[in-house]
Structure 1
Amino acid sequence: MEMSGLKFGTSGLRGLVVELDVGVCAAYTTAFLKHIAVLDGERSSGRLLVGYDLRASSPQIAMACIAAAKTFGMTIENCGPLPTPALALRAIALKAPAIMVTGSHIPADRNGLKFYRPDGEIDKADEAGILSFLGVERPPVEVPEHVEIVGHALEAYGARLDGLLGAGALQGWRIGVYQHSSVARDLLVDILTRAGAEVIALGRSDIFVPVDTEALRPEDIAFAEEASTMHRLDALVSTDGDADRPLIADENGHFLRGDTVGLITARFLGADAVVTPVTSNTATELCDMFKKVYRTKVGSPYVIEGMLSACNDDFQRVVGFEANGGVLLGSSLAISGGQLAALPTRDAILPILSVLGMAAKEDMTVSALRRTVPQRFTCSGRIEHVSTETSAPFLQRLLDVDQRRGFFAELGTILDCDNIDGIRVKLSNAEVIHYRASGNAPELRCYAEAASEQRSAQILQWGLRRAENLLRAKEIGHE
């Protein structure tokens, strides 16, 4: 079986839809269940939860996974179309494994599978375990035309979020929901309405729209600005396809960066420890609001690992977030007179409610709330067609103190450096430049941070040009 185009990245297995045929989906599902059986110490016939997003290929892929799981002897709970965090919440509550069929924000010709152990997201060791069972002989599967959808997962997720803000907390707010093809589009309207807001549903699409919260399309930016003016909105909110990454625009239609959203959410939730990848900007440390900030590699498995470390260090209110704005809750929190259960997977609606709730509580606009966060500006770029064999020596070279000093001399004096994920350098003027190899593609990525948007863009262009010149010199044999 040829599955070379499919690959585990920072968020599950991804590939072209044409590669995710019945046999391939059955192979990965069976391999996952065999791996789970090994973890459990025996091959048992338990329950498997399956959910999917709204892209056209997802229901068929979900049916293939269900068919393979039935052949394996599992009882199936088909959760239907729902946010990824809703499926995860249900799976953890039942202590059952789960598979979410989603390509998140990637184009409609691609899709993917996201696997959950009974205690949460799989990690890198689990990925290796799953791959070890691929190719092992397996029985043929018969794909059912229909499996009844059970709505318990979506109901429990909605109830959990309703408890975050009290009734009427958003009274007087006029909020637009950019629905497009988000699997949370109706749930968002319902939750915000129950919180007292006047909600205007906008931009609903029957065709999948690849909204990437970290790389917004020009049409998304224009849509937000026009909608905010036309409908006199206090905020515009949305998510990516599977609702694990938020999108929040202020009253002017200007989007908040994901790490700004994460920081405000952590503050709203009263976090004492925050866990975030090295690609989030340094406002998290500069705000001086948390007892400790843990930095990790890029990818939710690493954030989850960091949250476990924070809990082991006896922090009581542990919040994780990624630069895309997805928030992970590492510990259960007492909030609004109730309990918000831990959910160690990315969630989009939790940060949306937290940002709006914080603005309402402080009686300020979303743009004013954004200004309460230390103003740091970041941008990123990439050099394509750079293999690991090429990027590894480049990054290794920058580990040497003298080589690093010479490489960055034009930018200034190096204050600090870490190699958590690639090479991240902080200069004496607080500017940051960071190189890392992509986990999803043959690319070298560059990130820059400064006190202004213009300056961060200048650093980025310098960083890309400097790296490309060195990589090209190595290719032709010159230092």
Structure 2
Amino acid sequence: MAPKFGTSGLRGLVTELTDALVGDYTRAFLAACDTGGQVFVGWDLRPSSPRIATAVIAAARAEGIDVVRAGMLPTPALALASMSAGAAAIMVTGSHIPADRNGLKFYLPGGEVSKDDEQAINAALGRPAGARSAALAEGAGIAEAYVARYGAAFGAEALTGLRIGVYEHSSAARDIMRDALARLGAEVVALGRSDVFIPVDTEAVDPATGDLFQTWCEAHGLDVIVSTDGDADRPMVSDATGRIVPGDVLGPITAQALGAGVLCTPVSSNSAVDAMGFDRIRRTRIGSPFVIAAMEAERARDPAAPVVGYEANGGFLLGFAAQGPAGPLAPLMTRDSLLPIIAPLVRARAAGLALADLVASMPGRFTASNRVEGIATETSRAFLEEMTSDPVARAAFFEDEPAEASVDLTDGLRVTFQGGDVVHLRPSGNAPEFRCYAEADDRETAEALVARYLARLSDRLG
């Protein structure tokens, strides 16, 4: 399948992301979207990313657009730098998917491109290559500015007394995480650095990783372990037992810590947030462009609204000028991993609680998620169409559950059963895989629902 826009950004097989195709999409982006006359280019640690970034840079310069080569860095650090400069950005990353795939994420001077922008980019494909040679500058101080943002907001003693493991793997933020946490006073233990790209999906943490976290916590006496996905716009956090804290739990805790009143989050996120006292919860389709669109609508409705967004994967978007314990924190309208790592830890420490105890204080709803890989998009769509249009087929597929209480088709198929359990089925927008989300009143039931229906999906579609 040719590269295409998915849930967030352009994705495809590395073999199909040729220099010619990358150049075509770069030219289309520069022609269709406002760039501010300059574009920042960064990349992750996939083996193919430097080559693709070189093609992006060459195409942009040939179009007469000045380029800042930011290097290998987290996506939110790149976005912060480009937005601060009033410039566009292109990040070369496939996020959490395997290294045989890669992609491009596009940023305007105001933040991530919208779905309308993606359509405009597609419509501008096929332009002839330019013949100019615009300026090329090396990015300087970008990582430091990103780290300093959180040091200034939370203070040098915010995490004093905490012993934090950093699972480095092949995260683009592996060095930045250590620096940022140490700057806030934490004792940092580096873990699991890898020279081979590891596709970490913060919504589908495999049992082996959970076992590894438990072992590390016990061996090193850790209070928490933190990490991110490949391009570091999604957090991964465990408590002192190695148990993963879901992203849709980190999100509302972070929102509370910052004093947010309006939350925008996908329909797949934990419904516990509805009972946490926020002014308004706005549900969206899955993907940061939809969350951003909802946030922008809320800001248009009330420019002073303390609005934030987050996804079930933990990526957090700050839409207002917040106040940290030590200083102000400016808006950053792109998914970030550091903020939803730092803010819950600071909140727990300030309350004299372990992270697990802070999480346990939330309303008692639990989510789980995972995916079946290797399912062709066409197969997934046909199955989903059957499930959404045929109640008899749907009842047969969910034969082990109570009767349906409601069906939500906002994004995929989300069924709430009598008694309150929820199963949500949705093909991935970025890869040939099918995702299953579940929600229940206890963790074990949510995890069992995901395991049951992933097995059923695998038998049916695999």
Question: Same fold, TM exceeding 0.5?
Answer: yes
Gaps of 5+ in 1: 473-479
> TM-score by structure 1 length?
0.87
- Opposite residue 14 of structure 2, the aligned amino acid is V
Distance 1:468 1:254 in 2: 26
Distance 1:7 1:260 in 2: 31
Asked whether 1:23 is paired with 2:26, we answer no
The Cα of 1:222 is off from its aligned counterpart by: 2.5
The Cα of 1:300 is off from its aligned counterpart by: 0.3
Is the CA contact (8 Å cut-off) linking 1:395 and 1:435 kept in structure 2? no
The Cα of 1:245 is off from its aligned counterpart by: 0.6
Give the secondary structure class of the aligned counterpart of 1:429.
Answer: coil
Distance 1:348 1:164 in 2: 16
Distance 1:420 1:76, change over 3 A: same
Asked whether 1:34 is paired with 2:31, we answer yes
The Cα of 1:82 is off from its aligned counterpart by: 1.2
Distance 1:106 1:464 in 2: 19
Asked whether 1:378 is paired with 2:367, we answer yes
Distance 2:147 2:287 in 1: 26
Partner residue, 2:277: 289
Distance 1:21 1:466 in 2: 37
Asked whether 1:213 is paired with 2:210, we answer no
Is the CA contact (8 Å cut-off) linking 1:68 and 1:141 kept in structure 2? no
Distance 1:336 1:452 in 2: 33
The Cα of 1:411 is off from its aligned counterpart by: 3.1
Of all paired residues, the percent bearing the same amino acid is 46
Distance 1:217 1:382 in 2: 10
Distance 1:168 1:194 in 2: 8
> TM-score by structure 2 length?
0.90
Distance 1:244 1:412 in 2: 37
Distance 1:103 1:407 in 2: 33
Partner residue, 1:339: 328
| Correspondent of 1:308 among 296, 305, 308 | 296
Distance 1:359 1:316 in 2: 26
- Opposite residue 391 of structure 1, the aligned amino acid is L
Distance 1:465 1:358 in 2: 38
Is the CA contact (8 Å cut-off) linking 1:211 and 1:217 kept in structure 2? no
Deviates more, 1:338-347 or 1:374-383: 374-383
The Cα of 1:447 is off from its aligned counterpart by: 2.6
Alignment RMSD, CA only?
2.8
The Cα of 1:186 is off from its aligned counterpart by: 1.3
Partner residue, 1:477: none
Give the secondary structure class of the aligned counterpart of 1:113.
Answer: strand
Distance 1:290 1:390 in 2: 37
Gaps of 5+ in 2: none
| Correspondent of 1:5 among 2, 5, 23 | 2
Partner residue, 1:62: 53
| Correspondent of 2:381 among 381, 388, 398 | 388
Is the CA contact (8 Å cut-off) linking 1:79 and 1:152 kept in structure 2? no
Deviates more, 1:71-80 or 1:370-379: 370-379
Distance 2:38 2:458 in 1: 50
Distance 1:88 1:403, change over 3 A: same
- Opposite residue 186 of structure 1, the aligned amino acid is D
Distance 1:356 1:376 in 2: 21
Distance 1:456 1:23, change over 3 A: same
| Correspondent of 1:108 among 99, 104, 121 | 99
Distance 2:81 2:382 in 1: 41
Asked whether 1:125 is paired with 2:116, we answer yes
Distance 1:353 1:194 in 2: 11
- Opposite residue 384 of structure 2, the aligned amino acid is S
Asked whether 1:431 is paired with 2:424, we answer no
Asked whether 1:185 is paired with 2:174, we answer yes
- Opposite residue 72 of structure 2, the aligned amino acid is P
Distance 1:349 1:267, change over 3 A: same
The Cα of 1:460 is off from its aligned counterpart by: 4.2
The Cα of 1:269 is off from its aligned counterpart by: 1.2
- Opposite residue 78 of structure 1, the aligned amino acid is R
The Cα of 1:405 is off from its aligned counterpart by: 8.3
